[in-house]
Every structure is written in structure tokens, then in C-alpha cells.
Amino acid sequence: MEQFYTIQGEGYNTGRAAYFIRLGGCDVGCVWCDVKESWPIDAHPRQSIAHLVAAATADAGRNVVITGGEPLMHDLAPLTAALHEAGCRNWIETSGAYPLSGQWDWICVSPKKFKAPLPSVLAAAHELKIIVFNKSDFAWAEQHAALVGPDCRLYLQPEWSKASEMMPLIVDYVKAQPRWQVSLQTHKFLDIP
Ligand SMILES: C[S@@+](CC[C@H](N)C(=O)[O-])C[C@H]1O[C@@H](n2cnc3c(N)ncnc32)[C@H](O)[C@@H]1O
Ligand SMILES: Nc1nc2[nH]cc(C(=O)O)c2c(=O)[nH]1
Ligand code: SF4
Ligand SMILES: [Mg+2]
């Protein structure tokens, strides 16, 4: 759908320069999704792997975030192999609703109520990022934390439109349950992509 060089705004790698590749197509249907224009899988021009790798490596940073849409609706083995061949570090943003494909250096799983994550993807996560939209999401977050590995980082990120309402609850929760951390969509405060 689009590519851009920016700063990773969310989660464990917040603040690091990264080249984003946003792949079209998602059928998960989150009511609050902030990139709904990514949903139609055929609405976006196709690009060759060679072009994407050349664009990613033309910039100084070598961290590449594959996002979407739901990137795991595509077979990511060829793209991630080519990126690794070119010396990139491959990071993914996924809901976990489709089987994992590709070679990854960092896997961020952000599970959704609208289409459940696969246990195999949760087990492979380096980072679990729960979007907090209402107060029932804390119990839901714990259900998913029980399904990730022991070294997986745990993040609570406010849904953007509910941030002022949810942030006090998130702060209290993290103080009471310090294995969780706060994640904010810092790129939206910085007004960058
Ligand atoms: C647009 S999604 C694309 C990747 C994948 N489909 C997913 O949901 O993980 C990228 C990240 O943005 C988060 N996100 C989307 N809309 C959001 C919103 N309104 N507020 C906070 N986070 C949001 C998602 O949970 C996910 O972690
Ligand atoms: N700067 C920036 N960081 C991000 N981290 C995850 C994003 C995404 O949409 O997947 C995202 C995004 O859209 N922009
Ligand atoms: S899974 Fe990701 S891209 Fe798909 S609707 Fe939800 S937030 Fe948007
Ligand atoms: Mg985004």
C-alpha cells in the first residue's frame, strides 16, 4: 500500500529509525482501526520484492517494519529472505490471525477481539501489544499474556480516540502489575508518519 522511512512510534522499538512497508489487505475489521484504507487487498498497486528491498536499503537505517493491513495474509518468506540477504533486520506488526510466514528478528503481536490470534503466533511473539479500548480489556490482556513465552514483553497501548479516558486506568494497572509497560503512539504526537 505504501512505504515510508520514519521512527517506530510504538512498543519495544519506539524511537528507532525504521523503513515501513505497509501491505494491503485486512479482514480482521477492528472498529477503531487507524488505517482502514488498507483493508481492500486488491486496491493497492503491486510492487516487486527487488524494488521494495532497494528502497528500504537506500535509507541509512536497516530496520524494516512489515505492517498493513494484516501482513500475514501474504506469504512473507520471499520478501523477508531478500531483506535479510540485503542486511536488514525484519520486524513485523501483526494481529496474529494468520499463520506466521517469513524470517523475523522482532515479532509484535497485537491480538484482536474481532478475529482471534493463533496460539502458534502468540507463542513466537517477542512483544504482546494490547490496545485498551475499554476497561474489560485488562482481563482480556491477561488471557493473552498467558499464551506468550516467558520472555515476551507486555505492553498496554490506549486506543487513540479513547486515550484520555483509558490512560488513567492504564497507569494504575501498570503500577499494580509492573510486568506490563505503557506503549503510546508517539508518532502521532510527533506528527510524523
Ligand atoms: C494498523 S495495525 C497493522 C498491523 C496488524 N494488522 C495489527 O493490527 O497488528 C498496526 C498497529 O496499530 C495498532 N492500532 C491500530 N489502530 C489503532 C488505534 N486506533 N489506536 C491505537 N492503536 C491502534 C494495532 O493494534 C497494531 O498494533
Ligand atoms: N511511526 C509509526 N510507527 C508505527 N508502529 C506501528 C505502526 C503501524 O501502523 O503498524 C506505525 C506507524 O504507522 N507509524
Ligand atoms: S488487524 Fe490491524 S489493520 Fe486490520 S483492522 Fe485491526 S488494526 Fe486495522
Ligand atoms: Mg500505524
**pLDDT tens per residue across span 87-116:** 999 999 999 999 999 999 999 999 999 999
- Average pLDDT, integer, range 164-170: 98
Query: Does the structure's ipTM exceed the value 0.95?
Result: yes
Q: What's the CATH code of the domain at 10?
A: 3.20.20.70
Whether the Cβ atoms of residue 97 and residue 78 lie closer than 8 Å to each other: no
Contact residues for 38 (Cβ-Cβ < 8 A; gap 6+) = 1, 22, 23, 24, 25, 26, 44, 68, 69
Three-class SS state of 83: helix
Determine the distance separating the centroid of ligand 1 and the alpha carbon of 88, expressed in angstroms. 23
Q: Pairing mode, if any, of strands 2-7 and 17-23?
A: antiparallel
The CA distance from 34 to 18, in Å, is: 19
Q: Can you give the residue range of the structural domain that contains 183?
A: 2-190
Pocket of ligand 3 contains residue 17 by CB under 6 Å: no
> Structure pTM?
0.98
Q: How many domains does the chain have?
A: 1
The CA distance from 2 to 5, in Å, is: 10
Ligand 2 atom with least separation from CA of 6: 1
Q: Binning pLDDT at 50, 70 and 90, where does residue 59 land?
A: confident
Pocket of ligand 3 contains residue 112 by CB under 6 Å: yes
Q: How far apart are the first and last CA of the chain?
A: 14
The residue whose CB lies within 8 Å of the most ligand 1 atoms, and thus the one to mutate among 41, 95, 127, 140, is: 95
Determine the distance separating the centroid of ligand 2 and the alpha carbon of 19, expressed in angstroms. 10
Q: Binning pLDDT at 50, 70 and 90, where does residue 61 land?
A: confident
The residue whose CB lies within 8 Å of the most ligand 2 atoms, and thus the one to mutate among 185, 186, 190, 191, is: 185
Q: Is the pLDDT of residue 51 over 90?
A: yes
